Amino acid sequence: MSSQIHSTAIVDPDAKIGDDVVIGPHAVIGARVRIGSGCEIGAAAQIHGPTVLGSENRISPMAAVGFEPQDLKFHGEETRLEIGDRNVFREFSTMHRGTGNGGGLTTIGDDNLFMVYTHVAHDCHVGSRTVFSNGGTLAGHVEVADDAVVGAYSAVHQFCRVGRHSYIGGYSVITRDPLPFVKTVGQKPVAYGVNTIGLERKGMDPETIRILEKAVRLLLRSKLNTTQALERMEAEFGDSEEVRYLMDFVRASSRGVITKSPGGSRTRGG
């Protein structure tokens, strides 16, 4: 089946449109945009290049994809946005290209859901199967790993990393790295322990969840400092791939990780 492009849509001659693509009324597809097969571009959505979309992505009406970054250091240099397959970008979501100083590239993986008014800023790298609730916002240079959730109207500070299966609750202000597998919530965020229900829904086996709960308890609720907690985790649960990922995530953090508990205990140092 050939692509269906509405008569009022504006498609730059330089754009490359795959098979079975539907482009709605008043949509704008700019130069150096490549759209894979089976994509749906809603009414009045805009995609500017250089931007690459994989297959079967859905761009809802009024979404803005591939625009210049909102960075005063950007001066028109060559930068890109690369998007994988089967992503959903809902109304008024905004996805920006990279900056020359930040590597020149923003990337988004596969099977992600970006709800209304979400924003992915320049030089961010988002994995696959993530969910961004309404108004969830990434500042520049943020890394979001697979299966993470960013809650409604939450903001993630520049250069933070969001770990695999992290759950950021609504209206949170994230200025340090939220832990993988853990629920992190609040304007002064605290870690509420393993997101057990979320991991069960993702199909993680009960024994792995049980081990993660024990490992995270050492990190969040024991009287050990971070270095001591990691040593205990290594000794007791080092055979677990998920625990090893958690330990590596903590050790690699440059901004520090969020380990404050709801009871108000302070974040422990190394």
The catalytic residues are 122-123, 140
Q: Which of 41, 43, 44 is nearest to 87 (CA)?
A: 41
DSSP structural state of residue 126: E
Amino acid, single-letter form, for residue 22 = V
Report in angstroms the alpha-carbon separations of 208 from 242, 243, 270. Answer: 8, 9, 26
**Nearest-angstrom CA–CA distance, 7 and 232:** 65
Instruction: Give the tokens for residue 2.
Output: 């050939």
Residue 48 contacts residue 106 (beta carbons within 8 Å): no
Helix (H, G, I), strand (E, B) or coil at 162: strand
Helix (H, G, I), strand (E, B) or coil at 151: coil
Rounded to the nearest 10°, the torsion over CA 185, 189, 191, 192 is -40
**C-alpha atoms less than 13 angstroms from C-alpha of 21 in its C-beta half-sphere:** 23
Residue 187 contacts residue 171 (beta carbons within 8 Å): yes
- Sole residue written with tokens 């086996």: 205
Helix, strand and coil percent figures for the chain, each rounded to 5: 20, 25, 55
Amino acid, single-letter form, for residue 242 = E
**Nearest-angstrom CA–CA distance, 64 and 160:** 24
